Amino acid sequence: MPEKKPRLLFVDDEDNVRIMLGLVLEKNGFSVTSVGTVPEALSLIAQQEFDVLIADLNVGSPGDGFTVVSAMRRTRPKVVTFILTGYPAFDTALEAIRLQVDDYVTKPTDIDVLIEKIRSKLSGKSAERHIQTRRLTEIIAEHLQRITADWLNQCRSDQELSSIPLSDAQRSDHVPRVIQQALGIALGDSLSEKTTSAAREHGITRHRQGFTVPLLIREARFLEHAISRCVQTNLLAIDISHLISDIIAVNQTIQIQLEHSVAAFLESGPSQNESVAAD
């Protein structure tokens, strides 16, 4: 009786990679199912049995590979999981990858190395893994410094924001406070007068520093992006029972604080940049 081929799900949105690597894996003794989107992968995970998952880190959108890995881990925890990444120097991503998958492979892929890794993982005794999950508020609180650093990097990369001469401390000192207040609201606290006063003071400070209202809004958007990336890279560790409500509460609190900041900003009169433009 012929030996049963290991069933492998391969997820990559690049047609050439998906076709060529799929063929190579087939020739090396795997029964390969290849798809190019996250919804296709999630549908197959729900309906079929697999022994191996290989997912590109960025399937359609950055970090979407973690969504596929998360679904596989929750549905079929014994499956051997791999992530393909074209960014081996991206330390934050690699740390998350090491924590959440069995191994990772960089692009362009060394086929011999990949085959060896898959066979090695399959031949080892794979105990069923039960991942200890925590509420999103705990995950965000634990990664507060990293979220702040991510936000700061986005601001540094923005031409308009970075042109305003501020130290890193002056630029980011409000971020931990905003996040902590948002987490408090998610956990059931009420929006206090102290919180709204701090938001208004931030608006006044930004007015004094020469910001504009669009730049205030952009800063808030960058913060939401940084928090979203934290969620994405820690998806397997998050308790999904509160996930949606926590995300809504955090984002709403950021928006409410932004509204108070903008109101105080406008009450302060034209900013330095607006005055210069008017002249």
- Dist CA 215 CA 160 (whole Å): 8
Residue 42, token pair as written in the block:
């999630």
DSSP 229-260: HHHHHTGGGB-TTTHHHHHHHHHHHHHHHHHH
Q: Which CATH superfamily is domain 136-278 in?
A: Globins (1.10.490.10)
Top-confidence residue, 210 or 102: 210
Residue 148 has pLDDT above 90, yes or no: yes
d(CA 82, CA 105): 7
Residue 104: pLDDT band with limits 50, 70, 90: confident
d(CA 209, CA 24) in angstroms, rounded, equals 58
Helix axes of 64-75 and 213-233: crossing angle, nearest 10 degrees: 30
The whole-chain average pLDDT of the chain stands at 85
DSSP class of 134:
B
Per-residue pLDDT tens over the stretch 214-244: 999 999 999 999 998 888 777 767 877 788 8
How confident is the model at residue 174, as a pLDDT? 95
For residue range 43-88, list pLDDT tens digits in order. Answer: 999 999 999 999 988 887 777 787 888 888 888 888 999 888 775 5
| Dist. CA 234–CA 136, nearest whole Å | 9
Name the pairing type of β-strands 52-56 and 80-85.
parallel
Q: Is 132 exposed, middle or buried (0-12, 13-18, 19+ CB in 10 A)?
A: exposed
Say what the alpha-carbon torsion angle 125, 126, 130, 132 is, to the nearest 10 degrees.
80
Written out in words, the top-level CATH class of the domain with range 7-123 is alpha beta
pTM over 0.85: no
Domain boundaries, the chain: 7-123, 136-278
Q: How far is CA 89 from CA 36, 86, 93, 101, 230, in A?
A: 25, 9, 9, 17, 18
Residue 133, both tokens: 């999950």
pLDDT at 279: 47
**pLDDT, position 278:** 46
